[in-house]
Structures are given as C-alpha cells and as structure tokens.
Amino acid sequence: MLEAGLGFAVDLKKPGGFLGKEAVVAQKAAGPLRRRLLQLLLHDPEPLMFHAEVVRRDGRPVGYVRAASYGFTLGGAVGLAMIDGGGAVIDQAWIDAGTWEVEIADRRFPATASLRPLYDPRNERIRM
C-alpha cells in the first residue's frame, strides 16, 4: 500500500484499527521504501505497452509493467510499473538520476519515470 503511494488513504489512528494495520505500521517502521510503483511514459508515441514489459534503469532490469494503455493526453504509451531499487531508496531524486527504458518486443524504448502522475501532477487542472 505504501509502495503504491497510497499512505495518505489510511488513518493509522482509526479507532478499532483496520485489517492490515500491523503490516502498514511495520512497513513504515522499516524505513524508506526500496520498492515503488512508478508511472512511465514512452518518449516514442508509436509503440504500445500492455503488461509484463521489462523496465530498465541504466540498462539494468529493475521491474516490469503491471498495467498500461495509450495516454492520448500525454501523447504516448503510459504504464504503471513496480520497481525494485536493489537496496537503494526509491525517491524522485533516484528516479531522475537514472536513464529509463522499457523493453517491448526485444527493443528498448526511452521513457520518463515518475512517482507523481505525469498529467497534471499538481492537480492544477482539477481545481479550475
């Protein structure tokens, strides 16, 4: 749940707790996350992602696409990928320091990776 960036959606002080509370508390206590769900956008608008495509950071496999489709607003294929930092803390600085690629049909395509949504990451359009 924390790996997917949904920590804001749980109330650890909820009276009576909730199913899975102990696991969330343990994950928070373990320190910074080393696995995260990232959003990816291919730079090339032609290839499509579906699921299970290998994601590479600096040429090394770090995870795979869990779900994807074409993002018409963004002008390319977008996907969600679970990434393993190999012991590194995964934050936006770590993401920005790497070169990202997605392997589709034995070809590698450059991609942008982000913890935040790639479309309207500050929710400015929703507040209009």
pTM: 0.84
Same domain, yes or no, for 11 and 38?
no
Number of domains in the chain: 2
Q: Are residues 27 and 37 in the same domain?
A: no
Q: If you search the block for the tokens 């977008």, which residue do you land on?
A: 78
123 falls within a domain: no
Statement: residue 5 has pLDDT above 90: no
Task: For residue 12, give its domain range.
Answer: 1-31
**Same domain (yes/no): 54, 94:** yes
For residues 81 and 37, state if they share a domain: yes
- Chain centroid, CA 16 distance in Å: 31
Distance CA 108, CA 50 (A): 15
16-70 pLDDT per residue, tens: 888 988 888 888 888 787 889 999 999 999 999 999 999 999 999 999 999 999 9
